[in-house]
Each structure stands twice: as C-alpha cells, then as structure tokens.
Amino acid sequence: MADVAVVGGRPQGSLDNRPVTTATPQPSAGGVDAIACEYRELHGANVYSAESVLVVRLACDGADRLAWTLERPSAPLDRCAELLEGLGLSVIEVCARERWPLGSLLQTIAEQLIRRVRAAPAAPAPAAAADPERELVLALDAVVPVRASCELAARIVSVSVSVSVSVSVSVSASATAEQEHERLRGLLDDFDRRHPALWQQTAALGAACRQRDIPWRWIPGFAGYMQMGEGALQVRANQNLINSEGLTAIQLASDKTASSRLLHRHGVPVAAHIGVTDPAQAWPTAMRIGLPVVVKPRSLDMGTAVSVGLSTRAEVEAAFHRARKVARWVLIERLISGEDHRVLVAGGRFVAAVQRLPAAVLGDGKGTVAELLAQANADPRRTPGKTTPLNPIRYDEDSERVLRDQGWTLDSVPPAGARVRLKSAANWAAGGACAT
C-alpha cells in the first residue's frame, strides 16, 4: 500500500469537521471487502472526553458481504484472532467476547498497536461511539501513531475476511493465510520503524503534567517532542532539554509536515500538501491537489530539490525523483501564487521584511543566457564556499525547465533589461536575491 499523508487546507478552528480519507487498504486477489477510515479530530473538551480525541468513521466496499457485527463461532473473527497472535499482539480481549461490533473490534486492535508506541500512561478513555459498528473513538495523544494504528487495524480485519472467503483452486487456504501473515508482519515492522516508542524522559514529563492538570500534547511527527501549557505560557521540549525553544523551533521547522500541522492547528493558513513515497503516486497525487504544484523533500531546507509551478506529468515525476534522492518522503503541495516575502519578528515585534526573488540574469541585448550566467557567477559576492551575500547559481534540470517555459535557451540573447529566471523557487541558497 502506498504511503500517503494529507496535511493542510483551510483552518477549521478547534474542530476540524472535514473528513480526511486514508489510503484504502487494498483487498487481496480474492476481491474481498476493504475497510477505509475517515478521520475527524476534536481538539479540547468534547462530547466524548475532556481531552482531544480522534473520531474514526468506517466505510466498507461490498458491505453486504461483511457483517458489521461479527459473532462466534465466526471464521472471520477466528482468523482475526489468529492474525493478531501471529503478529505478536494480545488476543485476550478479542477472544473474550461473543459478539463484536466492527468499530469496537477495530478500536481494540488499534489500542493494542498504540500501546507499542506509548510509553506514558494512556489518556482517560473517551466515551464509546454512538454507532459502535461503524465508528470508533480514540484518545488523541499523538496524531500520527493513532491514525496509523487505525489503518493497520483495518488492514488486519480486511485480511481476516479475505482469507476466510477466498480459496483459490491452485492455492490452499492455509497457504493463503500464511501469505497474509507474512504481508502483515511486514506492515507491523514498518509501523514499528516509523513510530518508535516515545522517549522515557518525555513520557515521564507527560505523566507528570497529567497528574498536575497541566495541558500538554505530543508534537506530531516527533517521538521525543512535546508541548506543555498553552498560549503565552507554553513550553516545548525535546527528550533532554526543557527550556530549549530556539533549538526546538529549528528542528520542528526542518520538518515541513510537522510545522504545517502546528501552524494549521493555530489557525494560520497553510498550503495543502500530500506526502508520498511511491513514484506511481506522484502524478495522481498532483492531480488530486490541483495543478500547478510544488514538489519538495519533507525534511530538508535551503531549497534543496524544490521545484515550483509544475503542470505536466513529466515535470512532476522528474521533480519527484530529484526530491526522492535526498529524502524518503516527498511532498506534493498546492501552489499559492504571489510574491515571496520573509518577515523577521523578534520579541513579538515586527523588525524587517524583504522580498525574495528567484535566481535570474538581466539581459543586455548582447550576451547569451549562458554568458550572462557566467558573468553573474563571476561576481565576488557569489564566491562558492564562503559566507557571502549571494550564492552561485547552479544550472540544473529545474533551470532548464524554467528557461524553456519562458521561451529561452542557453544560446538565446535576451533584450536589454529583460529579466530571465533560472530557478522556480525564490531561495537564497539556490542563488536567489532580495529586492532592493
């Protein structure tokens, strides 16, 4: 199943009612039902709990073939217990009941998966969902592990039904079950790699906050980071340092998804983006976001492998491969047109602002683009490897595309005064400059 993470969009205040549909678990070759999850985050006190929760609504293709309540003796339920046991998870709770509403079953499995990550005492259990067959409600201590646990739980149940009803002429039922066991073991290993157990120090801080009624939350995407308090009194810390706001801010800003979530949580508009790792998902994701798009690595800075204003499949896929070379996750983001400004705020006060311009050369009516580029890079202010006001302009695939879109080539001679862009992103590290 392709890795997909959706972030961004219009701020919704404390209650985000927009359902975000996960990548649907893929049915096996037998053509069996697949369970999908739609999420709704309720931040702060709500009808289910005094703390934030995640409400998950289930949908199922071919619902007439998959009962919303499983009963014993039930082959699907027995198979689900076997699969859980094969994955090394507890099956006590699954086997203790005679009838299982599907939502309640998924909640039990998801909670068992969450325990693999959470090292601190769990948040108070929220009230049960009004529709236990099609809904589940989980405490929202950490957004990413909770959602991932729901998806894996849905996959486990989907596979259990798949194994129970699909028997091929050439493949025995036992062989099919073993194949599904192997696939699920791989999914669990991947789950453990992506969501390591929270740092013990951070978990202890969380437990202490709960005992003292101090509001706190995990910072999504970082196993060792948390926020204590709200508003002007909030403090963010990593696993070792408490009053380390500067370091924490730098590390959070380096993860574009985490920083977008934090901004979005506080009502700041951010460009919607989707994170993918599968090359086959690059173009469909761009179409889903809406063209033109921006493609960039999730975790790097300095404009590394960032491509802006992509509108064709070839451009998107080429940009994906450039970004994929330097980062596992590649973000495909909605392009927001306009000027690029950087604003400096210190001590809560506006200090300065500059307009950032993409790398470019200025035509003189005589030299070619290649000659103008060489002249620009000969400027001592662009000396490589030194702390200078400007960086060298590196001609690469992005430069070639931007130049072509303007109707130029390296051999073209721009008229005097014509500004020829050489980069799609306005980034100082890529040779950009500030407006004077």
pLDDT digits (tens, 9 = 90+) for 140-158: 765 457 888 888 888 887 7
Give percent of the chain above pLDDT 90: 14
145 and 111 Cβ atoms separated by less than 8 Å: no
For range 83-105, the mean pLDDT: 73
For range 87-98, the mean pLDDT: 68
Is the pLDDT at 271 greater than 90? The verdict is no
Is the pLDDT at 7 greater than 60? The verdict is no
269-337: CATH homologous superfamily? ATP-grasp fold, A domain (3.30.1490.20)
> How confident is the model over 370-390, as pLDDT tens digits?
999 999 888 888 877 666 778
Tokens of 213: 């009624």
pTM over 0.85: no
- Helix 102-115 and helix 143-165, axial crossing angle in degrees, nearest 10: 130
CA angle 181, 185, 23 (to 5 degrees): 95
> How confident is the model over 313-323, as pLDDT tens digits?
999 999 999 99
Confidence of residue 193 (pLDDT cuts 50, 70, 90): low
Q: What is the 3-class SS of the chain, one letter each residue?
A: CCCEEEEEECCCCCEEEEEEECCCCCCCCCCCCCEEEEEEEECCCCCCCCCCEEEEEEEECCCCCCCCEEECCCHHHHHHHHHHHHCCCCCHHHHCCCEEEHHHHHHHHHHHHHHCCCCCCCCCCCCCCCCCCCEEEEECCCHHHHHHHHHHHHHHHHHHHHHHHCCCCCCCHHHHHHHHHHHHHHHHHHHHHHCCCCCHHHHHHHHHHHHCCCCEEECCCCCCCEEECCHHHCEEECCCCCCCHHHHHHHHHCCHHHHHHHHHHCCCCEEEEEEECCHHHHHHHHHHHCCCEEEEECCCCCCCCCEEEECCHHHHHHHHHHHHCCCCCEEEEECCCCCEEEEEEECCEEEEEEEEECCEEECCCCCCHHHHHHHHHCCHHHCCCCCCCCCCCCCCHHHHHHHHHCCCCCCCCCCCCCEEECCCCCCHHHCCEECC
The segment(s) of the chain belonging to CATH 3.30.1490.20 are: 269-337
For range 161-182, the mean pLDDT: 54
109 and 70 Cβ atoms separated by less than 8 Å: no
Confidence of residue 93 (pLDDT cuts 50, 70, 90): low
pLDDT of residue 228: 80
104 and 93 Cβ atoms separated by less than 8 Å: no
Confidence of residue 109 (pLDDT cuts 50, 70, 90): confident
Confidence of residue 9 (pLDDT cuts 50, 70, 90): very low
> How confident is the model over 328-353, as pLDDT tens digits?
889 999 988 888 888 888 877 899 89
Is the pLDDT at 62 greater than 70? The verdict is no
Is the pLDDT at 63 greater than 60? The verdict is no
Is the pLDDT at 293 greater than 90? The verdict is yes
For range 53-60, the mean pLDDT: 85
pLDDT of residue 282: 92
Is the omega angle on the peptide bond into residue 292 within 30 degrees of 0, that is, cis?
yes
pLDDT of residue 180: 66
Ranges 89-98, 168-177, 245-254, most confident:
245-254
pLDDT of residue 155: 83
For range 291-308, the mean pLDDT: 86
